[in-house]
Amino acid sequence: MKSFRLALLKFADAASAVLTDADAEIQRATNWLETEQRAYWEHQIRYRTEAVARAKLQVQIKKSCRNVDGSPGSAIEEEKALKLAIRHLEEAERKAVNTRQGARRLQRETLNYRGQVQRFATAVAVEIPRAVGRLDAWVRNLADYVAVQPEGTGAVGETSLIEDAADGREGIPSMAKPAPLAEPEPADSASAEQQSPRKTQEHAP
């Protein structure tokens, strides 16, 4: 019972540690999505929106300039930079949407997880300590039972002497046994033969 109690306590400690680690991991993931990533991509959207605006301005400025011969200036490089800025902005907007969707999905999965693991967590936090308490009580009861010495363990003769001594009759036997009867001695064979003819004569007609 003591070994089982120790194993039960070790299991409770391990299970409690696993549940605590899982809760901490869920909380870190939630904070990362809802706080860090959301704030990061919102900042990137603002920053890249400004980059697109600057790239557009550069294209307009380049096209408005005239060459020496009077032809409009070429804005090929500026247009390439504008396209790249637009792609970066679209990426940030897509990542922001994914972050919001991921945070909502994580919330749903967290609720499902907590609902499924609630009974196990209750057993670890409440039922196992209660079972350990019952085991402790049983061990104490068994120890008390083993420690008690049974009464009347002496022999019957010793018990009678103790009772007689208590009554003031120490050394007096409680019941006297009758003396054995003496066995008859066998008759002498010679005397038996002498008595036999006499009896025969007395009884003769």
Backbone angles phi, psi at 72, to 5 degrees: -65, 145
Token pair for 180: 């054995």
Token pair for 142: 């068994």
pTM for this entry: 0.56
pLDDT tens for the chain, 205 residues long, are 778 888 888 988 999 999 999 999 999 999 999 999 999 999 999 999 999 999 999 988 888 887 666 666 678 888 999 999 999 999 999 999 999 999 999 999 999 999 989 888 888 888 888 888 888 888 888 888 888 866 655 444 444 444 444 444 444 444 444 444 444 454 444 444 444 444 444 444 4
